[in-house]
């Protein structure tokens, strides 16, 4: 019997994986599979091999996740850089300028600076501002209406059904696209909120689109250079 095969059998019986034996002896794993497929192993050897295989799987998963994260970051940087240049052609469009300025002031941006959640989210209680932003998303960002979700943030003085009807009519988005209403209590108000304030609550306009999120961030970057 070949010396390397004998050594491979010894190592296998000690509980070494095919990867470990291949690295030690320089023998292809395909050859090891052929040589060692019928080798009887002790329970101790089986347990060691199983633990090494599991560890290898976990390490492989971690490597893949890191690679995916790196690729996602690279794609996001590319989208952002391209959008930054697009501002030169869009700066004279009043709806673009108004919408991107409002998003810069009131929109969700943490996803570009470390937060894991990366989606478009604009919150406001002013009906006119909300109408403008929905127009911006539809006409400038070219988001299809069915992709736009709305969440009502309501307080004790709010009639939820009437408020959902109000916002649905205002922005022409069906109630089926409204996310579950969140009822909020401002502790600082000590439940003494003026019943005439925020009569229709606050709404979040949400679009689950990572590419659009980074495109908007890139537009903000480009706008900064113009100011």
Report the C-alpha gap between 178 and 161 in whole angstroms.
11
Q: Give the chain as a 3 state SS string.
A: CCHHHHHHHHHHHCCCCHHHHHHHHCCCHHHHHHHHCCCCCCHHHHHHHHHHHHHHHHHHHHHHHHHHHHHHHHHHHHHHHHHHHHHHHHCCCHHHHHHHHHHHHHECCHHHHCCCCCCEEEEECCHHHHHHHHHHHHHHCCCCHHHEEEEEEECCCCCHHHHHHHHHHHHCCCHHHEEEEEECCCHHHCCCCCCCCCCCCEEEEEECCHHHHHHHHHHHHHHHHHC
Average pLDDT of the chain is: 86
Residue with tokens 């940087």: 77
Report the C-alpha gap between 150 and 176 in whole angstroms.
10
Report domain extents, the chain. 3-67, 90-226
Q: What pLDDT was estimated at residue 45? A: 81
Q: What pLDDT was estimated at residue 189? A: 47
Report the C-alpha gap between 136 and 130 in whole angstroms.
10
Strand partners for 44: none
Residue stretches of the chain with pLDDT short of 50: 188-189, 193, 195
In the CATH hierarchy, which fold is given to the domain comprising 90-226?
60s Ribosomal Protein L30; Chain: A; (3.30.1330)
Q: What is the pLDDT of residues 13-37, one digit of tens each?
A: 888 888 888 888 888 888 888 887 8
Q: What pLDDT was estimated at residue 79? A: 95
Q: What pLDDT was estimated at residue 57? A: 63
Q: What pLDDT was estimated at residue 62? A: 64
Q: What pLDDT was estimated at residue 208? A: 95
By C-alpha distance, which of 109, 205, 203, 106 is closest to 148?
205
Report the C-alpha gap between 82 and 48 in whole angstroms.
51
Q: What pLDDT was estimated at residue 68? A: 65
């Amino acid at each position: 019997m070949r010396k390397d095969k004998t050594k491979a059998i010894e190592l296998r019986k000690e509980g070494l994986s095919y990867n470990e034996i291949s690295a030690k002896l320089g023998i292809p794993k395909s050859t090891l599979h052929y040589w060692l497929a019928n080798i009887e192993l002790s329970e101790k050897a089986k347990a060691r091999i199983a633990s090494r295989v599991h560890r290898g799987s976990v390490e492989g998963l971690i490597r893949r996740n890191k690679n995916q994260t790196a690729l996602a970051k690279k794609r996001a940087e590319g989208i952002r850089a391209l959008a930054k240049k697009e501002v030169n052609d869009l700066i004279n469009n009043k709806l673009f300028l108004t919408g991107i300025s409002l998003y810069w002031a009131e929109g969700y941006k943490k996803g570009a600076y470390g937060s894991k959640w990366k989606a478009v989210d604009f919150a406001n209680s002013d009906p006119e501002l909300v109408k403008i932003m929905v127009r911006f998303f539809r006409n400038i960002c070219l988001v299809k209406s069915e992709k736009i979700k709305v969440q009502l943030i309501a307080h004790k003085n709010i009639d939820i059904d009437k408020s959902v009807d109000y916002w649905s009519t205002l922005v022409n988005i069906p109630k089926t696209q409204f996310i579950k209403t969140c009822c909020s209590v401002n502790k600082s108000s000590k439940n003494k909120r003026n019943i005439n304030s925020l009569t229709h609550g606050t709404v979040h306009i949400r679009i689950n689109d990572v590419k659009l999120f980074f495109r908007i961030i890139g537009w903000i970057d480009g706008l900064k250079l113009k100011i």
